[in-house]
Amino acid sequence: MTQLQALIFDVDGTLADTERDGHRVAFNRAFAEAGLDWEWSVERYGELLRVTGGKERIRQYLSEDHPSALAEPGIDTRIRELHAAKTRHYVAMLKTGAIPLRPGVRRLLDAAQAAGLRLAIATTTTPENVTALLEATLGSAGPGRFEVIAAGDVVPAKKPAPDIFTYALEAMNLPASACLALEDSDNGVRSARAAGLEVVVTTNDYTRAQDFTGALAVLDGFGEPDQPARVLDGPLLEGPVVDVATLRAWCAGAGA
Ligand code: XBP
Ligand code: MG
């Protein structure tokens, strides 16, 4: 690979564990507020996560559990309204500081910027969710640390399609060979790889058992000095944490 110049971060599951106690809860609040008896359990939500994008996920749920509702006139508007309510609940939760960054994320962001790497985001989630998470966890300057925030419906096809990563690369005017994607899911790995990117994966409870074929390395997190990262698949880690030197070495190895 060419010299590493930028890191492109996924959001949900990578920057923060947002799904089980964040997005899922917000969906359920929106359903209850609309007088619906739909309730997504932790387990059911894990199954629905295979579909990226909240509106797409609601549609998938209806096709499986309430097919007659999906056939009703005006269902597209209904889904959009439910999703807008879900976003409102989710952003409100984030603003209370309910969801922290994953261990090692702030350290890695600081180190990357100190080393002159450019930062970007490529996510399927709604843009205002990203801004709210970054402001709540990194302060008002948080979103500005990312040169590009590629999110949600800005591209027509969500992950595992490559579009959102391709969009971020074009916005940064960088080739895929100068960038590294950080992801937590199989859909994310497929998306990044299809855009020509190398990928490092940090797993979480929902994604641990997924197939990360094509990833440079799979870890249980980026690690902190007192909370070492564990490599689940891939090259050895020469210390307790994933740092810029590690990422540079892994990327250089990929091109060897
Ligand atoms: C994860 C997703 C998103 C969120 C919900 O995105 O699939 O759909 O679960 O967000 P990523 P919205 O891992 O790419 O960050 O409801 O706003 O779509
Ligand atoms: Mg993710």
If you measure from the C-alpha of residue 183 to the centroid of ligand 2, how many angstroms do you get, rounded to a whole number?
6
| Ligand 1 closest atom vs CA 123 | 14
Kindly indicate the confidence band of residue 213, based on its pLDDT and cuts at 50, 70 and 90. Answer: very high
Please list, residue by residue across 180-202, b when 16 or more beta carbons sit within 10 angstroms of its beta carbon and e when fewer do: bbbbbbbbbbbbbbbbebbbbbb
- Is 10 annotated in the active site? yes
User: Averaged over 165-187, what is the pLDDT?
Assistant: 98
pLDDT in tens, 3-13: 999 999 999 99
CB 11 within 8 A of CB 101: no
Tokens of 87: 């976003």
What is the number of alpha carbons within 13 Å of residue 234 lying toward its C-beta? 28
Among 180, 107, 183, 182, smallest CA distance to 138 is for 107
Ligand closest to 206 (CA) is 2
Torsions phi, psi for 241 (to 5 deg): -130, 160
Determine whether 217 is exposed, middle or buried from the number of CB atoms within 10 Å of its CB (0-12, 13-18, 19+): buried
| CATH class of segment(s) 19-95 | mainly alpha
Question: Which regions of the chain carry the CATH code 1.10.150.240?
Answer: 19-95
Write down the pLDDT at residue 256. Answer: 53
Q: Which of 3.40.50.720, 2.120.10.80, 3.40.50.1000, 3.40.50.300 is the CATH number of 6-18+100-254?
A: 3.40.50.1000
Domain with CATH 3.40.50.1000 in the chain: 6-18+100-254
Is 163 an active-site residue? no
Angle (CA) 223 52 179, round 5° = 50
- In angstroms, rounded to a whole number, what is the distance separating the alpha carbons of residues 170 and 82? 32
CA dihedral for 53, 137, 5, 208, sign (positive or negative): negative
Tell which atom from ligand 1 comes closest to the C-alpha of 159.
14
Tokens representing 220 are 């249980």
pLDDT at res. 112: 98
Kindly give the distance from the C-alpha atom of residue 239 to the centroid of ligand 1, in angstroms, as a whole number: 32
Q: Percent of the chain beyond pLDDT 90?
A: 98
Task: Enumerate residues lining ligand 1, CB below 6 A.
Answer: 10-13, 19, 23, 52-54, 87, 123-126, 129, 159, 185, 188
Atom 7, ligand 1: residue with shortest CA distance: 52
